[in-house]
Amino acid sequence: MTYPHFNRITKFGDWQKLLDDPLLINRGIAGDNSFGVMARLKEIEVRQPRKLFIEIGINDFASNLPLGHTIKNILSIVSRVQSKSLKTTIYVLNILSTNDNVRINYPIAINKAKQIDFISLHLA
The 10s digit of each residue's pLDDT in 103-123 is 666 666 666 667 777 777 777
pLDDT over 70, % of the chain: 73
**For residues 74 and 57, is the Cβ–Cβ distance under 8 A?**
yes
Structurally, the chain folds into a number of domains equal to 1
Listed residue (33, 31, 42) closest to 4, CA to CA: 42
Q: How far apart are CA 10 and CA 104, in angstroms?
A: 19
Q: What range defines the domain where residue 34 resides?
A: 5-123
- Give the whole-angstrom CA distance, residue 42 versus residue 34: 14
Write the pLDDT tens digit of every residue in 45-83.
898 988 888 888 888 887 888 988 998 999 999 999 999
Inter-axis angle of helices 113-123 and 67-84, nearest 10 = 40
CA dihedral 74, 71, 61, 81 (to 10 degrees): 0
